[in-house]
Amino acid sequence: MNLRNIAIIAHVDHGKTTLVDELLKQSGSYRENQRVAERVMDSNELEKERGITILAKATSVVWEGTRINIVDTPGHADFGGEVERILNMVDGAIVLVDAAEGPMPQTKFVVGKALKVGLKPIVAINKVDRHDARITEVVNEVFDLFAALDATDEQLDFPIIYGSGRNGWMATDPAGPSTDGMKPLFDLVISHVPEPTVEEGPFRMIGTILEANNFLGRIVTGRISSGTIKPNQPVKVLGQDGHVIEQGRVSKILAFRGIERTAIELGEAGDIIAIAGLSKGTVADTFCDLSVDTAMVAQPIDPPTVTMSFIVNDSPLAGTEGDKVTSRVIRDRLLKEAEGNVALKIEESADKDSFFVSGRGELQLAVLIETMRREGFEIAVSRPRVVYKKDEATGEMLEPIEEVLIDVDEDFAGIVVQKMSERRAEMVEMRPSGGNRQRLVFYAPTRGLIGYQSELLTDTRGTAIMNRLFHAYAPFKGEIPGRRNGVLISNDAGEAVAYALWNLEDRGPMMIEPGWKVYQGMIIGEHNRENDLEVNVLKGKKLSNVRASGKDEAVRLTPPIQMTLEKALSWIEDDELVEVTPKSIRLRKVHLDPNLRKRSEKSRAEVGVA
């Protein structure tokens, strides 16, 4: 059977899921009356909420004797560790663009990678039936984007197809005909995308996507470069340096057939398959026949740049909102996550009550924390810290530097440059990017970018778009100013009283509301001075038997600061933690006892002086 492997690149809400559903339906992958509970490309709960693709997914359709494998791609840089490897599995890409919104920032990251690896794009303008569609301008914007991303002349000569995924048609003209359904798109993929290149020789495949399955163990997905594979066939796994990681037998070969992944008896060169039965082989390793001695060149896994401590929750409210609180269940959950997510690195601390979790960015770690709290876990997490590296030649400490692209309206370019320079960033490029917008490119230390996303949106009234990519390790750039204000700390345990909060309003903004449970050492607000201050939020109004008119009106409180998980992680200092439970996000000091806090500060100060 003829084969085509394509990636689908689209911003959230541009109609990717609907389009793929139509391709599946019209190719006969499922019947009209078949109930499909979960569409293949549908995102999970967190992806829907955040509007980002986190997990790579694949599906497959058959059209007139040709099998078309379709691979979805994550668009965010924190999950971009696998994008380049995914794009190396395919030979073409459909760039799906909304006819009204045009190309959006999330597509830029993946489109740039796709052009870099030499893929020939097909541009599909979707939702042409929208009342605010601006088809010609959107096509020009796509062309400008490709040109800005240094596309070759061949890549700029891309075919364009128009249609409406919801109404189930695509055509070479925006006006239709709409009677041919998805046939024009299928035909274009078959004519424009080349067949996969197949090499001579025995079975070889590079691992691209790794997942953990409760029944089959580790499942590794990749494209077969040469040879064939059958169930029970002995294979070995070679690392990038060519040494043998393990030998074993393939217990099962799975392939994407329509909306299901089914077991097959023979995997052939060029096809995208998943194999089970090996316990150590991972992404970027070469899975091959026993006669092969040389590893294939693979895209290396990006090194982790940010680390956080995940600590067993020991606050007085521990165990009141979640049911997974012990170090054993937290450890098992983190190790399970690391099995399927190669960009994560898990290390256990000496006391066994905390774990160091390292990843590609604070967003990736925040997504993991959010997933765990929804599963019923209670944990305390530290402020994200960058992963330093020692230069072996000079002994100098090196820190991760990222290339940061910020598209922003001209009016706000000044404040962005100022804030980035405060964070020790170096501007390397500034150019117009269409309309009255500027594209600013910086090399910035990763630690300076922690928590900057929300500040950037505030400074630019939500108009700026930031993309980040790991660039290199470089010598330490110097101190970066942190939070200037101290915090208000509860000095007792109980329920917060409105009268007490009202009396404390001139000390700084609050983070809690009346009736909230508090404990000693919990952070309840931001102090308007530099020092930390212990306060009593349990103190009610003294009652007397004298009533004066106007004195008993209800107190009016200023609304508290709403702390999201990402905001809390970037706001806390090194001696503070975020307590995360299924129902609450609380801020607290590492040492709840004030005497222990003072002792710890004293010893830190002595170390600093020494």
Angle at 423 between CA 417 and CA 427, to 5 degrees: 40
Q: How far apart are CA 229 and CA 196, in angstroms?
A: 17
Is 112 labelled as part of a ligand binding site? no
Is 506 labelled as part of a ligand binding site? no
Burial class (CB in 10 A: 0-12, 13-18, 19+), 469: middle
Torsion of CA 606, 608, 609, 610, to 10 degrees: 80
Q: How far apart are CA 27 and CA 67, in angstroms?
A: 10
**For residue 242, how many other CB atoms are within 10 A of its CB?**
10
Is 535 labelled as part of a ligand binding site? no
Q: Which two tokens stand for residue 121?
A: 């794009």
Is 91 labelled as part of a ligand binding site? no
Q: What does DSSP say about strands 426-432 and 437-445: parallel, antiparallel, or unpaired? A: antiparallel
CB 96 within 8 A of CB 166: no
CB 339 within 8 A of CB 220: no
Q: Where are the beta strands (DSSP E) in 305-394?
A: 306-312, 345-348, 354-359, 379-381, 385-386, 389-390
Nearest to 375 by CA among 324, 339, 332: 324
Rg over alpha carbons for the chain, rounded to the nearest Å, is: 27
Q: How far apart are CA 460 and CA 448, in angstroms?
A: 18
Is 76 labelled as part of a ligand binding site? no
Is 313 labelled as part of a ligand binding site? no
3-class DSSP state of 575: coil
Output the CA–CA distances (angstroms, integers) from residue 47 to 58, 74, 76, 211, 252, in the order listed: 16, 10, 11, 18, 30
Positive or negative, the CA dihedral 507, 509, 514, 515 is: negative
> Is residue 319 within a helix (H) or strand (E), and if so which, with residue range?
none
Positive or negative, the CA dihedral 138, 143, 148, 151 is: positive
User: String of b and e for 77-94 (b: at least 16 CB within 10 Å)?
Assistant: bbbbbbbbbbbbbbbbbb
Is 15 labelled as part of a ligand binding site? yes
Q: Which two tokens stand for residue 73?
A: 């791609």
CB 94 within 8 A of CB 122: yes
Is 127 labelled as part of a ligand binding site? yes
Strand partners, 465: 407
Nearest to 293 by CA among 338, 219, 243: 243
Is 144 labelled as part of a ligand binding site? no
- Tokens 């997914």 locate to 57
Is 111 labelled as part of a ligand binding site? no
**Cis peptide leading into 103, omega within 30 of 0?**
no
Binding residues for GTP are: 13-18, 126-129
Binding residues are: 13-18, 126-129
